[in-house]
Amino acid sequence: MRVLVIEDEPDLLSALAQALREGGFAVDEADSGTDGLYKATEWDYDAILLDLMIPGLDGWEILRRLRAKKTTPVLILTARDAISDRVRGLDIGADDYLLKPFNLTELLARVRALIRRAVGRPDATFTLHDVTINTVRRTVFRCGQPVVLTAREYAIVELLAHRSGQVVSKTQIYEHIFDETDDTLSNLVEVHVSNVRKKLGREFIHTIRGMGYVVDR
């Protein structure tokens, strides 16, 4: 899952990015409104964390312009605690609102919840065939037995499982599991998929030639 953090306070931005990465997300960073809006419209993020008071374009303007093009879930992070500010943010198109200072655990949970809602899987734990995925603990069970996956492998499983029944291209997988700082080759995706097949069974991920991969519903 790849998220974008738009925040002008460098110390907060670094902490957020680190926390999200340790939580299994691929994280892009933007420290100004213009940079943030550019990235937000250029890539398909799974979620965006947006500070309202940033130089350049302010948070509301970014949200307004983003909503004209994309439906990416947006979580507003702000020091503005007035009810009117929250209402305004939510009415413009934000999906959630978190007041500074916030708890990191809560923040991660809210981001996960936002992503689940966006893909239409409100339950944090779900089962496909004989594979059960817990998106909170980031664990996978096959026939009740825990399966050890690497972070990347888990990310691919979660991505495909969230979009079960849809074909997901290699580029899409690449874009969702690596962030802007990664310069790994895209053929690494094939390596990770083959490793997942070894651990969860060949039938779990199907290859659609020339298009990508799919996990059956």
Q: What distance in Å separates the CA atoms of residue 162 and residue 13, rounded to the nearest whole number?
A: 28
Give the nearer residue to other proteins in terms of CB position, either 103 or 125: 103
Q: Under the criterion CB under 8 A, does residue 12 sit at the interface with other proteins? A: yes
How many beta carbons lie within 10 A of that of residue 126, not counting itself?
16
Q: Under the criterion CB under 8 A, does residue 214 sit at the interface with other proteins? A: no
Size of the site for other proteins (CB under 8 A): 22
Q: Under the criterion CB under 8 A, does residue 81 sit at the interface with other proteins? A: yes
Q: What is the DSSP string of 118-186?
A: HHT---SEEEETTEEEETTTTEEEETTEEE---HHHHHHHHHHHHTTTS-B-HHHHHHHHS-TT----T
Q: Under the criterion CB under 8 A, does residue 210 sit at the interface with other proteins? A: no
Q: Record the tokens describing residue 166, joined without a space.
A: 């849809």
Give the nearer residue to other proteins in terms of CB position, either 103 or 186: 103
Q: What distance in Å separates the CA atoms of residue 159 and residue 164, rounded to the nearest whole number?
A: 9
Cα dist from 214 to 140, 161, 167, 176, 182, whole Å: 18, 9, 5, 15, 24
Q: How far is the CB of 23 from other proteins (least distance, A)?
A: 9
Query: Which residue of 24, 53, 139, 214 would you call a contact of other proteins, by CB under 8 A?
Result: 53
Name the segment binding other proteins (CB under 8 A); options: 11-19, 65-73, 112-120, 140-148: 11-19
Name the segment binding other proteins (CB under 8 A); options: 9-17, 58-66, 117-125, 137-145: 9-17
Query: Which residue of 102, 126, 141, 174 would you call a contact of other proteins, by CB under 8 A?
Result: 102
> What letter would DSSP give residue 44?
-
What separation, in Å, do the N-terminal and C-terminal C-alpha atoms of the chain show? 20
Give the nearer residue to other proteins in terms of CB position, either 80 or 142: 80
Query: Which residue of 92, 104, 109, 119 would you call a contact of other proteins, by CB under 8 A?
Result: 104
Q: Under the criterion CB under 8 A, does residue 109 sit at the interface with other proteins? A: no
Q: What distance in Å separates the CA atoms of residue 26 and residue 3, rounded to the nearest whole number?
A: 6
Give the nearer residue to other proteins in terms of CB position, either 81 or 91: 81
Give the nearer residue to other proteins in terms of CB position, either 54 or 62: 54
Q: Under the criterion CB under 8 A, does residue 128 sit at the interface with other proteins? A: no
Q: Record the tokens describing residue 186, joined without a space.
A: 């895209």
Q: Which residues would be at the binding site for other proteins (CB under 8 A)?
A: 9, 11-12, 15-16, 18-19, 22, 53, 55, 77, 79-82, 99-105
